[in-house]
Structure 1
Amino acid sequence: MNLLRQWSRDLALGVRFAFAGGREGWVRAVLTAVGVGLGVALLLLSTALPNALAVRHDREEARTDYAFSAETLPKADDTVVVAHVDTDFRDKRVRGRLLEPEGPRAPLPPGLGAFPADGEMVVSPALKELLSSDSGKLLRERLPYRITGTVGETGLIGSQELAYYAGGSGLARHIGAGDVYRLERFGETDPAPEEPDPVLILLNIVVIVVLLMPVAVFIAAAVRFGGERRDRRLAALRLVGADGRMARRIAAGEAMAGSLLGLVLGTGFFLMGRQLAGSVEVLGESVWPSYLDPSPVLAALVAVAVPTAAVLVTLLALRGVVIEPLGVVRAAKPSRRRLWWRLLLPVAGLAMLYPMVGQGRENGDFNQYLVVGGVLLVLVGVTALLPWLVETVVARLGSGGVAWQLAVRRLQLSSGTAARMVNGIAVAVAGAIALQMLFAGVDNQYTEDTKLDLGRAQMSVSVPDGTPLAATAQKFADTKGVRKVTALWEGYFGDSSWKTENGPALAAGLTVADCAALREVAELPSCADGDVFVLDGDQFSADGPKLNKPGKKLYIESSASGVSTEATWTVPAGVIEARSIKDPTGTRRGGFLMTPAALPENLRKSVSGQVYLSIDESVPDAYEYTRNTTASVDPLAYTATWSATRTSNRFESVRTGLLVGAVCVLALIGASLLVSQLEQLRERRKLLSSLVAFGTRRRTLALSVLWQTAIPIALGLFLAAAVGLTLGGILLKMTGTPVSADWASVLSMTGIGAAVVLLVTLLSLPPLVRLMRPEGLRTE
C-alpha cells in the first residue's frame, strides 16, 4: 500500500510539473500531446473500422435486389420489378435502378419514402450535386428523369456514392433477359455465399498489423519529447532531495500528463475527422460519419494503454541513465549498443512464421496468432536494430564541410534521438514493401486474362431483345468518338421446343449482322444481303452442321418472359458453309450466320444485340458519348468498358483498404515527423543562436539540419528494404507462391518515405530561421 501511495504521489507530482512548471513544461506537454493525439486519432479510427465495415455490409445486404432463385415469382400486389441500369461516368460508378411496383403493397428499397413515378427519379446527395454542376452535363443527358427527392442515408453505403432510383414501365417483359427481377422483398441474400479464402484472410491480417504498427511507434516516440531538458530538471530534483527512483517516477508522471492531454486532443482530432469523413472520398471509398462509431471496449483499451505505455516507455528509457544532483551521466560518452538481443526479435518473428511455410490455401486457415505475433516481432525488430545501425555508421563517418561536421557530431552525441525520429517511417516502409511483394506475388491468382481483343474493340453494348438492327448500329456509327461499329444480333436454335422438361437435344447459335460485321466472326467465301451461313470450327460445339438439313424445323430460344410463343425457322436449301474465326471477345462462334434480309420477321423480336465499338480515345469524353447513345437506344442496354485483365472483387477490396489505410498512415507520419522536428529544433534554440552569433552562416545551419535528417533516414530506409524483402519473402512462401522481389515496389515505397521526410524538412526550415535569431540566447 505504501508503495502504491508513493507511486501515486510521484506520478501526480510529475503531472503537476508538466502543467505548472513554467513555459518549458507546458510547451513540452503540448508537443507531446499533439504527437500522441495524432496517433490516438488513428487508433480510434481503427477501432471504428470494424463497425464501419459491418454497417456498410448490412446496408449493402439490406438493399440487395437480386432474385437468386431460378423460378420467377408470379405477379402480385406485393411485388416490384427492378431493373439494374448501372453506368459509369468517367472514373466513377453510378448505381441505377428502374422500379415498377405491381401492387399497393410492393416493397420499397431502403432510403426511399415512396416509389418515383415514370419519368421521375430519386437521387443520392452526391449525384444531385454532380448533376447540378457543369462537369455533370453529359451525365444529365443520360438520365432524362426529373429529380423529385433524395435517397436517405439508409439506402446508401457511403456519403459520396452516386446512385438513383427511377420509375419504369413495361419492365416485366424483360424478366430473365438480363438484370431484371421480380421481388417481394429487398435484402434477400445468396444461399450459397463464397467460401472464405485463407490467402485473403492472411492479407487482411498483415494489412492491419502493418498499418497499426507505425502508429504505436510514433506514440512511443512522442512521449519522449524534450528528453534532454527533462534530464536537467530531474538533476535539479535530485539536488533538492529526491532519490533516483523518485526522479524516474516523476519523469513518468510528466510523460503521462502529455499522454492524457494527447487522449483529449486525439479524441478531438478523431471527432473532427469523423465529420470530415462524410464529405471526402478516398480512392473511390466513402463513409457516413455515423459509421465511424468506435467499439467501446477497444476505445477503453486505447484510453488505458496509451498512458500506461507512456509511463513504461519513460521508465525503460531512463533505465540506463544515472541521474545525479549535479548532472546526468548521459552527457558523457554512452556505452555502445549491443547487437545480439536486437537480432533476437526479428529472428523470433521469422521462427513464428516458419511453421506455416508452404501451407497455401489448400491446408486450411493460417494461425492468426502466429501471423500477428510473427509480423509484429519482425517489425519491432526494425525499431530495435535502427538505433544500433545509426550509432555504428555515424561513429565511422569522416570529416567534411562545416555543415557535414555539425550534423555528424550531433548524430554521434544523440544517435538514439535521431533513430527515434525515423523509426516510424522505417517500420511503415518495411511493412509496405512486404505487403507489396505479397500482393504482387498472389496477384495472378486473383487476376485472369479476359481474352478480349482490345485492338478490335474497346467497348461492348448489350441490347435487349427486339431492338431494331440497322437503326441501332447507325446510332452508334453517328456517335462522336466511335471509329468502328460491329453490331451482332444473337439467339439460339434448338432441334425441339425449349419448353420441354429437358430442352432440345441439339442446339446452335444464331448470329445476325451485315456482311462487314459477319467477317469479324467468320471467313466468308462471298457475302450478299440475304445469305445464310453455317459455321464449322467453333470451340464449344459442332451442332451447327448437324442441324443444317434443308426443311428441318428449328426453335429459337426466347429469353424474355413476356413472349408467350416460341418462334420457329425452317432451314432453307443452299446454306453456305464458312469457317469460324475468333470474334472480338476471343471466342470462335458456332451455329448459323444470317444477313438482315434473311432474318424472318417472326424472329426479329427473339434476338438480342451485342455491339462492339472501336473508340477514338483522342476524342475527349468519347466513352461518355457512347454511354449516352446506349441510354438513348434502350434504358436497359448495358455498356461495358473492356480491359485486358479482370481482378477478383474481394482481392481488389483488400488492396483498396490497404491504399486507404496507407494514405492515413502517411498523413500521420508526416504530421508526427514535423512535430518531432520542431521539438528538436526548439531544444537546440540556444545552440543555433550561439552559432549564428559566432558567425556561422544560416545556410550552413540549414544544410546541417538537412544532413541530420538525411543520414538517419537513408539508414532507416536501407534497413526497411532489407527487413521488408525478408518478411515479404517468407509471406510468399507461406502462400505457396514463388518468391520474387518486386523491385519497382521497393523503390517506390522507399521513394515515398524519403519524399515524406524531405517535405517535413522543408516545412521545418521557416521555424529554423526564426530560432536562429539573437533572441534565442535569452534565458530565464
Structure 2
Amino acid sequence: MNVRQWAGDLGLGVRFAFTGGREGWTRALLTAVGVGLGVALLLLTTAVPNALAARDRKGDERVDITYAETRMPKANDTLVVANVDTDYRDRTVRGRDLEPEGARAPLPPGVAAFPKPGEMVVSPALKELLDSDSGALLRERLPGRIVGTVAESGLVGPGELTFYRGADDLARSIDGGRVDRIDAFGKQTYPTPERADPVMILLILVVFVVLLMPIAVFIAAAVRFGGERRDRRLAALRLVGSDSRMTRRIAAGEALAGAVLGLLFGAGFFLAGRQLAGELEVRDISVFPGYLNPSPVLALLVAVAVPAAAVLVTLLALRGVVIEPLGVVRSSTPRRRRLWWRLLLPLGGLGLLLPMLGKGRENGDFNEYLVIGGVVLLLFGVTALLPWIVESVVARMGGGGVSWQLAVRRLQLSSGMAARMVNGVAVAVAGAIALQMLFAGVESDYTEDTGQDLTFAQMQVSLPSGVPLAPAAEKLRHTQGVKAVHAFDEGFLSDRAKDPEDGTMMTIGDCASLARIARVSACRDGDVFLVRGAVNDQGVDLDKLGTAGRTLYLDAQGGRPDRKPVPWTVPAGVRPAQAMAGLQPGVDRGGFLLTPKAAAAVHERIAPGLTGETYLDVDMSAKDVQERVRNTAEAIDPLTYPMTWVSTRQTDRFEAVRTGLLVGAACVLALIGASLLVSQLEQLRERRKLLSSLVAFGTRRRTLGLSVLWQTALPIALGLVLAGVVGVGLGAILLKMTATPIRVDWPGVLSMTGIAAGVVLAVTLLSLPPLMRLMRPEGLRTE
C-alpha cells in the first residue's frame, strides 16, 4: 500500500462528498456546520490569552498615578492628574482630572487635545450612557460639556466607561495617592512579584481542560453525521469492485472533506463571533475584535488536528461495520460492548491525580502534566462509559405505550448514536460540577473579611484636605435616602516633629458622633477625651503622650514634603474614655477625641493636618441611594472618595478566573445547544422515510413526536446521572489535592444538571417543526 493509493482513495471520497448528489453535499454541509462550530470556539479560546494580554498592555500604556516616594517638580512637560474614578450602579467609571503645566505636557493615550475646565473627553460607551435615559443620575455627577471621544488606543475595551476632564488648581492637592504630577503616561513602579499560588494555577488548568473537552467531543461526533446513509452508499462501491480497505479510505475522504469545509465554516463563525465579542461585556470586561487574534501556532495545530481526527474517527468507527456489495451488516444483533477497557480511562486518570492528594499550597506546585492528563482521562471516561450504560439500560426495557416502544426499539438498534449525541453534554456537566465544587471549596481562601461593621455605617465619604467638614456633612444629611451622618476630622499626632518614636490619633467630632466610636460619659461641647484600649494604640505610652502641657505634632504633610508638622499642646482636664470593641479598624480608633468647641481655638492652625471622614447610615432599599450619595459627594468636591461598605471581598485574581469561567461556560453552552440541534436535525433527516412510512400506516404525529422526545430524554438522563457521579468524584479529588475539606455543593450540582436538561429540552422543542415537515407522504419519494 503506497501513499499514492491512499491519496487517490481519499481524493475519491472528497469527490463523492461534493458530487454525490443531494445526499452527499447535505451530509458534508451538516458535518461542516458541526465541525465549524467547534473550530470557531477553539479559535476563540486560543485567542483569549492574546486578548487579555492586549487589555493589560493598553492599561499599562496609560498608567498615571505612580505612588512614587519622591515628588516630581513642576516643569514645561509636566501634567497634574487626579484619580476621580466613580461607580454607577454595578459598573466602574474610570475618570481623570487633568491640569497641564506646560506646552509639552503629555497627552493621555487616545486623547487628541486637553479638555479645558468644564469640558470632558469621554469614551464612546460613556457618551452613549450619558445620552440615554438610564444615565440621568450620572449626568448630574458629570455635567461637563463633552468636546471629544477617547480613541481605541486609549481604551482597554469598547464597553469601557472612562472620561478625562479639565481642571485647575490641582497642584495644591498633590498627595502621591489620588493626585500626582507626571511627565509621561505608562511609567510604573512594579511591586515585587508574588510567589505563584499553586491552587490558583490548578484552578486555571482545570478551567481550560473542562472548557475544551466538550469541544473535542462535539467535533468527534460531528464527523460521523450521516453515517448510516454513507455506509449504504459505500456498499455500492463494493458492488463495482472496491475492497473493504479501499471503501474505508473513501469514507475517510468524505469525512476529511466535511472537516476541511468545517475549518472554513469555523473561520467564518470565528470572524462573526469576534465581531460579536466587541458588543458583549461580562462583569465590566469587554474586548475589541482586533484583540481576538489566535496564536498562529495554536491555529495551525487546530487546522491540522481537526482533519486528522476526522480521518481517524471514521476509520475507527468503520471497524465494527461490515460493508458488503449487497448491503451493510449493522442491523444484526450487535456484539455487547465490553466494560473492562472503558474502566481503564477513569482509573488511569485517578492514578495520575492520586500522587498530588493533600499537597495544598504549602507543598510545592502541582505537576501540570499530571493534572491535565488526569482530568482529561477522567472526563474521557464519561464518553467511554456512557455508550455501555445506555446499551445496558435500554436492552432491559420494554412495554409501555407506542411512543415509548418506538423510542426504546430505536435506542436498542442504535444506542451508540444516541450516546454520541449526549456525550458532549455529559462531559460538560461533569466538568462543570467538579469546578463548582472546587470553586466553592477554595472560595473562602480568596475571600477576606473587610472588618466593616454594616450596623455602624453602609457608606463612607472621605473628604480631601481643605474641604470644611460641617458643610459637607450637612449636604450629605439632606441627600435622599440618608438616615444619619457621623462626621469626624482626623489627623495623626506624633511625639516629635522629626523621626517620631510614638504617636496616636486625633479625632474631632460632636458628642453624638464621638459616642459612636468610643465609650464617653457625660460628653459636653468643649470636652477632650483620651481613649484607652484601642487596637491601634497597642504598645503606645498614652500616659506619656497625654500629659497636660505636652507638645505633640500633627502630621500635615499629606504626601507633600513642603508642609511641616503642626504643633498642638495637650490641654488640661483631659477626661478618660474607653475604646469600643467590635468596630472596624480605623473606626475603632483611640488617641485624643476633641469636641468642636475644644478644637475651635486651634482649628485654623491644625486644619492642614486634618482630613474629613463621614460615615453614612443609609436606607439601602431606597432606589439609587448610592448614586445620590455619590452625586452629593461630587458636588462637595471632585476629589471626595465615596465608598460602599461590604462585609467580605474576594481577591481580584480569583474574580478574574471566575469571570473567565463564566465567559467560557456561556460559549460552551451555546455550542452545546447549536451542536445538539444540528445532530438532532441530522438524525431526523436520516429517518425521513421511516417517519413517513409510519405516518402512512396511521401512526399519529403526536406519538412520533413523543418518541423523539423519549429518544433524547433517556440518554440525556443516563448521561446526567453519570456526569453527576464523575463530576462529584473529580471535584472531591481536586479538593483533596488542595487540602480542602470535601463538601458537595448540591445546589451547584443540581443547577448544572438543570441547565443542561433545559438546553436539551429547548433543542428538542426547536426540532419539532422540522419533524412535522418530515412526517409527510412526500418523504416516501425516492430518486
- In structure 2, what is the equivalent of residue 697 of structure 1? 700
Post-superposition Cα deviations, 1:374-432, rounded to whole Å, max 9, x if no partner, equal 11111111111111111111111232111111111111111100000110011111111
Q: Which residue of 2 aligns with 1:470?
A: 470
Q: CA deviation at 1:594?
A: 1.3
- Partner residue, 1:707: 710
Q: SS where residue 611 of structure 1 aligns? A: strand
Q: Following TM superposition, by how much is the alpha carbon of 1:556 offset from its aligned partner in structure 2, in angstroms?
A: 0.7
Name 2:506's counterpart in structure 1.
510
Q: Give the deviation of 1:115 after TM superposition.
A: 2.2
Match of 1:547 in 2: 545
Residue in structure 2 matched with residue 11 of structure 1 by the alignment: 10
Decide which moves more: 246-255 or 447-456.
447-456
1:566, 1:46 → 2: CA distance?
57
Q: Which shifted more, 345-354 or 574-583?
A: 574-583
Check conservation: 1:535, 1:545, Cα contact below 8 A.
no
Give the aligned partner of residue 611 of structure 2. Answer: 608
The residue type paired with residue 640 of structure 1 is M
**Tell me, what secondary structure is at the counterpart of 2:320?**
coil
Post-superposition offset of 1:731: 1.4
Residue 642 (structure 1) aligned with residue 642 (structure 2): no
What's the offset of the Cα at 1:261?
Answer: 1.0
2: CA distance, partners of 1:477 / 1:439: 42
Cα distance in 1, alignment partners of residues 334 and 613 from structure 2: 77
Q: 8 Å contact 1:520–1:583 — kept in the other structure?
A: no
CA displacement at 1:642 relative to structure 2: 1.6
Secondary structure of 2:617's aligned partner: strand
Aligned to 2:350: 350
Q: Distance in 2 between matches of 1:506 and 1:564?
A: 20
CA contact (8 A) 1:487 1:612 kept: yes
2:524 matched residue in structure 1: 528
Structure 2 counterpart of 1:492, which letter?
A: F
1:149 aligns with 2:148: yes
CA contact (8 A) 1:67 1:182 kept: no
Structure 2 contact 92–284 (Cα < 8 Å) conserved: no
Tell me whether 1:27 sits opposite 2:26 in the alignment.
Answer: yes
| 1:543 Cα deviation from its structure 2 partner | 4.2
- Could you say if the C-alpha distance between residues 638 and 656 of structure 1 is closer, same or farther in structure 2, counting changes exceeding 3 Å? same
How many Å separate the matches in 2 of 1:25 and 1:367? 47
**Structure 1 residue 585: deviation in Å?**
2.9
**Pairwise CA distance, 1:349:** 1.3
Q: C-alpha distance in 1, partners of 2:308/2:381?
A: 22
- Cα pair 2:433 2:752 within 8 Å, conserved: yes
User: How far apart are 1:584 and its partner, in Å?
Assistant: 5.2
Q: 2:411 aligns to what?
A: 411
* Alignment partners' CA distance in 1, 2:41 and 2:543: 67
- 1:668 aligned residue: 671
Structure 1 pair 315/764, CA: closer, same or farther in 2 (3 Å)? same
The answer to whether the 8 A contact 2:487-2:612 is kept is: yes
Separation in 2 of the partners of 1:396 and 1:175?
80
SS, match of residue 658 in structure 2: helix
Following the alignment from structure 1 to structure 2, what is the Cα–Cα distance between the partners of residues 644 and 50?
A: 33
The whole-number CA distance in structure 1 between the counterparts of 2:642 and 2:781 is 72
Whether contact under 8 Å (1:403, 1:700) holds in the other structure is: yes
**1:338-373 superposed Cα distances (whole Å, 9 cap, x missing partner):** 111111111111211222222222233222211111
| 1:496 Cα deviation after fit | 1.6
Alpha-carbon offset, residue 582 of structure 1: 4.0
Task: Give, in angstroms, the shift of residue 105 of structure 1.
Answer: 2.6
Per-residue deviation at 1:456?
A: 2.7
Q: What residue identity is the alignment partner of 2:760?
A: V
1:687 to 687, 690, 693: 690
Q: Is the 8 A contact 1:433 1:746 kept in 2?
A: yes
Conserved? CA contact 1:521–1:583, under 8 Å = no
| Matched AA of 1:683 | E
Partner secondary structure for residue 729 of structure 1? helix
What's the counterpart of residue 577 of structure 1?
576
Distance 1:761 1:489 in 2: 66
TM-score normalized by structure 2? 0.97
Unmatched tracts of structure 2, length 5 or more: none
Structure 1 partner of 2:92: 93
Maintained 8 Å contact 1:536/1:545: no
In the alignment, residue 418 of structure 1 is paired with which amino acid?
A
Letter in 2 for 1:609: G
Tell me by how many angstroms 1:106 deviates.
Answer: 2.4
Q: Is the 8 A contact 2:555 2:564 kept in 1?
A: no
Output aligned runs, 1:550-569, within 5 Å: 550-560=548-558, 561=560, 564-569=563-568
Letter in 1 for 2:648: T
Which SS does the other structure have where 1:635 is aligned? Answer: coil
Q: What secondary structure does 1:759 align onto?
A: helix
Residue in 2 that maps onto 1:67: 66
**Contact 2:557/2:563 (<8 A) preserved:** no
How far apart are residue 540 of structure 1 and its match? 2.1
Residue type matched to 1:155 in 2? G
Residue 772 (structure 1) aligns with: 775
Supply the distance in 2 between the matched residues of 1:216 and 1:385 (Cα, whole angstroms).
17
1:519 aligns with 2:511: no
User: Is 595-604 or 663-672 further displaced after alignment?
Assistant: 595-604
Contact 2:505 2:592 in 1 (8 A): yes
User: What amino acid maps onto 1:186 in structure 2?
Assistant: F
Matches within 5 A, 1:179-258: 179-189=178-188, 190-258=190-258
Q: Which moved more, 1:427-436 or 1:282-291?
A: 282-291
Deviations 1:568-620 (A, max 9, x none): 22111112211111475365211011122222221233211221112213321
Q: Secondary structure at the match of 2:473?
A: helix
Given that 2:556 and 2:563 are in contact with CA atoms closer than 8 Å, whether structure 1 keeps it comes out as no
Cα distance in 1 for residues equivalent to 2:446 and 2:582: 25
User: Residue type of the partner of 1:514?
Assistant: D
Separation of aligned partners in 2, 1:19 and 1:658: 39
Indicate the SS of the match to 1:319: helix
Counterpart position of 1:393: 393
User: Secondary structure at the residue paired with 1:424?
Assistant: helix
| Unmatched runs of 5 consecutive residues or more in structure 1 | none
Partner of 1:588: 588
Distance 2:621 2:355 in 1: 54
Q: Over residues 728-777 of structure 1, what are the superposed CA-to-partner deviations in whole Å (9 max), with x where a residue is unaligned?
A: 11111222222221112111111111111111111111111111122222
Contact 2:462 2:612 in 1 (8 A): yes
Question: 1:117 maps to what in 2?
Answer: 116
Give the drift of 1:250: 0.9
Q: Secondary structure at the match of 1:704?
A: helix
State the alpha-carbon separation in 2 of the partners of residues 174 and 548 from structure 1.
32
| Equivalent residue number for residue 435 of structure 1 | 435
2: CA distance, partners of 1:556 / 1:742 = 53
Deviation at 1:177, TM superposition (A): 6.6
Is 1:721 aligned to residue 720 of structure 2? no
What amino acid is aligned across from residue 616 of structure 1 in structure 2? D
1:649-664 equivalences under 5 Å are 649-664=652-667
Alignment of 1:292-307 (within 5 A): 292-307=292-307
Q: For the Cα contact (< 8 Å) 1:62–1:186, is it kept in 2?
A: yes
Contact 1:459 1:613 in 2 (8 A): yes
Pair 1:464–1:543, CA change in 2 (3 A): farther
1:732 to 730, 735, 759: 735
**Contact kept in structure 1, 2:68 and 2:176, CA below 8 Å:** no
Q: What amino acid does structure 2 have at the position aligned with 1:114?
A: A
TM-score (norm 1): 0.97
**1:543–1:591: 8 Å Cα contact kept in structure 2?**
no
Q: Which secondary structure does the structure 2 equivalent of 1:35 belong to?
A: helix
CA distance in structure 2 between the aligned counterparts of 1:191 and 1:645, rounded to whole angstroms: 25
- 1:108 to partner: Cα distance: 2.4
Measured in 2, the distance between the counterparts of 1:65 and 1:361 equals 35
What letter corresponds to residue 95 of structure 1 in structure 2? Answer: R
Distance in 1 separating the partners of 2:473 and 2:597: 15
